[in-house]
Chains A and B, each alone.
Chain A
């Protein structure tokens, strides 16, 4: 038996997931400049807002949008760049489960994003986030990034170029942020409130507001459902992504 097959027999994690996970970490750590920029840029946005003593509602809005964009764009754009170079087409031909491979990539991306956002989060916590919210941020941030990453994957599968991907990522992320109540305060009993209760980005907004929060269950359910859908639709998503290289 080949060693790779033996690994899969004893490993509780599917092989396709591990291949993608390792690859994503290797590539990310190799691109040192980009890795450093992904730490510095969020810090450069968060620091002046905190230093300027912006009202908490405004600051939470900006931080929530930053984190959602970080996850969505961070997943969609590199995927589309790989697809345009013909890389996704090559990956699609490997005997690796496409769904598991895509989930592995998004999961690794979410953890890498969370690592890069950690200094900015530390600044937000030091600026006076209640300790309960600070603890929950450690769970809600990676989960938010994972959902945003899966959203970015879907966006990339629909888009046919990086420019289209950026447009779709911005529109979908902002719409979902709006549905999650990031930009408004819905009146009690309104349709907006009903939508907010099932919207995935509500949790990160509430945690950043420093108020009691209720959206964690919704977020985790959204991550679970979209992960399942990605697993089921993996071959279709991979084929759709592969078309972005312009070849038939």
Chain B
């Protein structure tokens, strides 16, 4: 015990890589590709967010890291960070599906899973309090709401102080208080040297990460810090325009702007921002469109992803729903002509 204290006082938390993936590929049954040639190293104290549309391989990659799946090619290595310990790295994994022993209480579930993972009942109880579950902890999990079950998932994944934390869509079902507590606990775990990997579609989570990896059709298409990734779309304003009735195809936009048709109207990317707005409105009016609402927003991760892949972060597994037109007004040509997706990511 005293040795541990000495080490933490002088050396800080263990550093270096916690998990490494080298040339990892995974194929589902019937040859459907899940992941291809993934190379990734996540270090102690680092938070990595995996961003990508549904079916891009985020959950599959997490399951490979959790050793729930085995790669078809390449290898995944967990590193304990301490050569004197032969034991495997302690992994805290909250999968996308919430599964518990419904007949047992939240406290019993949390304590059982945390003990089985090498933690203590006290640690489980402490997180039950922090996640606001103290008043409900002695009710059967079968009576819980989805959000309460999600909190128990997170407590079970985090309370044993794992060195590798894997969270799949952790903010789904959480209210703002739960999200804040989760962010606090993750920051604490990272400070003690845990590597944290989060698969999510929540761009707020991505904005707070150390690095963001974009996954597209089973490949990592970009990985960098959030600020570096957003730099690529700096100055490109996204204007969301809801129309009373959708246009048959996106109209030809002024130079420096390109339009993507969506279910509700158009998304126009403009390098001159709102300065182009009158010309854009005129163009839409001439094309017969009647504008219901205009939303101007600063570029975000969705824009980065669209720039990288031509698809939206909110695309379905087939990656397609709508067409895009550039200044030439023609769909299906060049960088500005792309197959877009369903409802756009909105931050109002």
Same complex = yes
| Contact A94/B68 with A23-B101, A86-B97, A87-B99 known, Cβ cut-off 8 Å | no
Question: With an 8 A cutoff between CB atoms, is A187 at the interface?
Answer: no
Q: In the bound complex, do residue B67 and residue A31 qualify as a contact, i.e. CB atoms below 8 Å apart?
A: no
Separation of A213 and B69 alpha carbons in the complex (Å): 49
Q: In the bound complex, do residue B115 and residue A4 qualify as a contact, i.e. CB atoms below 8 Å apart?
A: yes
Q: In the bound complex, do residue A248 and residue B116 qualify as a contact, i.e. CB atoms below 8 Å apart?
A: no
Q: In the bound complex, do residue B68 and residue A93 qualify as a contact, i.e. CB atoms below 8 Å apart?
A: yes
Q: In the assembled complex, which residues on chain A have CB atoms less than 8 Å from the CB atom of B93?
A: 93
Q: Which residues of chain B from 86 to 126 have any CB-CB distance to chain A below 8 Å in the complex?
A: 88, 90-91, 93, 95, 97, 99, 101, 103-104, 108, 112-113, 115-120
Question: With an 8 A cutoff between CB atoms, is B31 at the interface?
Answer: no
In the complex, how many residues of chain B place their beta carbon closer than 8 angstroms to a beta carbon of chain A?
Answer: 26
Q: In the bound complex, do residue A4 and residue B104 qualify as a contact, i.e. CB atoms below 8 Å apart?
A: no
B82 CB, nearest partner CB in chain A, Å = 14
> Per a CB cutoff under 8 Å, which of A5, A22, A93, A248 touches B67?
A93
Smallest CB gap from A30: residue in B: B103
| Contact A85/B103 with A93-B67, A95-B90 known, Cβ cut-off 8 Å | no
Q: In the assembled complex, which residues on chain A have CB atoms less than 8 Å from the CB atom of B95?
A: 86, 90
Q: In the assembled complex, which residues on chain B have CB atoms less than 8 Å from the CB atom of A30?
A: 103-104, 140
Separation of A26 and B111 alpha carbons in the complex (Å): 13
Question: With an 8 A cutoff between CB atoms, is B42 at the interface?
Answer: no
Smallest CB gap from B89: residue in A: A95
- A1-39: CB near B (< 8 Å → 1, else 0) gives 011110000000000000100110011001100000000
Smallest CB gap from B103: residue in A: A30
Q: In the bound complex, do residue B120 and residue A86 qualify as a contact, i.e. CB atoms below 8 Å apart?
A: no
Q: In the bound complex, do residue B66 and residue A93 qualify as a contact, i.e. CB atoms below 8 Å apart?
A: yes
Question: With an 8 A cutoff between CB atoms, is A96 at the interface?
Answer: yes
Q: In the bound complex, do residue A248 and residue B69 qualify as a contact, i.e. CB atoms below 8 Å apart?
A: yes
Separation of A85 and B29 alpha carbons in the complex (Å): 21
| Contact A94/B113 with A2-B120, A86-B99, A248-B29 known, Cβ cut-off 8 Å | yes
Q: In the bound complex, do residue B115 and residue A90 qualify as a contact, i.e. CB atoms below 8 Å apart?
A: no
Question: With an 8 A cutoff between CB atoms, is A202 at the interface?
Answer: no
Separation of A5 and B117 alpha carbons in the complex (Å): 11
Q: In the bound complex, do residue A19 and residue B28 qualify as a contact, i.e. CB atoms below 8 Å apart?
A: no
Q: In the bound complex, do residue A248 and residue B28 qualify as a contact, i.e. CB atoms below 8 Å apart?
A: yes
Question: With an 8 A cutoff between CB atoms, is A89 at the interface?
Answer: yes
Smallest CB gap from B120: residue in A: A3
B117 CB, nearest partner CB in chain A, Å = 6
Q: In the bound complex, do residue B29 and residue A96 qualify as a contact, i.e. CB atoms below 8 Å apart?
A: no
Smallest CB gap from A23: residue in B: B112
B67 CB, nearest partner CB in chain A, Å = 7
Q: In the assembled complex, which residues on chain A have CB atoms less than 8 Å from the CB atom of B69?
A: 248
> Per a CB cutoff under 8 Å, which of A2, A22, A87 touches B119?
A2
Smallest CB gap from A3: residue in B: B120
Q: In the bound complex, do residue A96 and residue B116 qualify as a contact, i.e. CB atoms below 8 Å apart?
A: yes
Q: In the assembled complex, which residues on chain B have CB atoms less than 8 Å from the CB atom of A19?
A: 112, 115-116
Interface size class of A (residues with CB under 8 A): 20 to 34
Q: In the assembled complex, which residues on chain A have CB atoms less than 8 Å from the CB atom of B66?
A: 93
A37 CB, nearest partner CB in chain B, Å = 15
Q: In the assembled complex, which residues on chain A have CB atoms less than 8 Å from the CB atom of B29?
A: 248
Q: In the bound complex, do residue A87 and residue B101 qualify as a contact, i.e. CB atoms below 8 Å apart?
A: yes
A35 CB, nearest partner CB in chain B, Å = 11
Q: In the assembled complex, which residues on chain A have CB atoms less than 8 Å from the CB atom of B90?
A: 95
Q: Which residues of chain A from 160 to 182 have any CB-CB distance to chain B below 8 Å in the complex?
A: none
Q: In the bound complex, do residue B67 and residue A4 qualify as a contact, i.e. CB atoms below 8 Å apart?
A: no
| Contact A26/B115 with A86-B97, A95-B88 known, Cβ cut-off 8 Å | no
A246 CB, nearest partner CB in chain B, Å = 11
Smallest CB gap from A88: residue in B: B99
Smallest CB gap from A91: residue in B: B116
Q: In the bound complex, do residue B99 and residue A85 qualify as a contact, i.e. CB atoms below 8 Å apart?
A: yes
Q: In the assembled complex, which residues on chain B have CB atoms less than 8 Å from the CB atom of A5?
A: 118
Separation of A211 and B68 alpha carbons in the complex (Å): 52
Q: In the bound complex, do residue B117 and residue A94 qualify as a contact, i.e. CB atoms below 8 Å apart?
A: yes
Q: In the assembled complex, which residues on chain A have CB atoms less than 8 Å from the CB atom of B118?
A: 2, 4-5, 95
Q: In the bound complex, do residue A31 and residue B103 qualify as a contact, i.e. CB atoms below 8 Å apart?
A: yes
Q: In the assembled complex, which residues on chain B have CB atoms less than 8 Å from the CB atom of A89?
A: 68, 99
Q: Which residues of chain A from 128 to 187 have any CB-CB distance to chain B below 8 Å in the complex?
A: none
Q: In the assembled complex, which residues on chain A have CB atoms less than 8 Å from the CB atom of B91?
A: 93, 95
Q: In the assembled complex, which residues on chain A have CB atoms less than 8 Å from the CB atom of B116?
A: 19, 94-96
Q: In the bound complex, do residue A4 and residue B119 qualify as a contact, i.e. CB atoms below 8 Å apart?
A: yes
B123 CB, nearest partner CB in chain A, Å = 9
Q: Which residues of chain B from 274 to 301 have any CB-CB distance to chain A below 8 Å in the complex?
A: none
Q: In the assembled complex, which residues on chain B have CB atoms less than 8 Å from the CB atom of A92?
A: 68
Q: In the assembled complex, which residues on chain B have CB atoms less than 8 Å from the CB atom of A86?
A: 95, 97, 99
- A74-99: CB near B (< 8 Å → 1, else 0) gives 00000000000111011011111000
A8 CB, nearest partner CB in chain B, Å = 10
Q: In the assembled complex, which residues on chain B have CB atoms less than 8 Å from the CB atom of A90?
A: 95, 99
**Given known contacts A89-B99, A96-B116, what 5 new A-B pairs fall within 8 Å (CB)?**
A19-B116, A30-B104, A90-B95, A93-B66, A94-B117
3 A-B pairs with least C-beta separation: A30-B103, A86-B99, A94-B116
19 A-B pairs, CB-CB below 8 angstroms? A2-B119, A2-B120, A3-B120, A4-B115, A19-B116, A22-B112, A23-B101, A26-B112, A85-B99, A86-B95, A86-B99, A87-B101, A92-B68, A93-B66, A93-B67, A93-B91, A94-B113, A95-B90, A95-B91
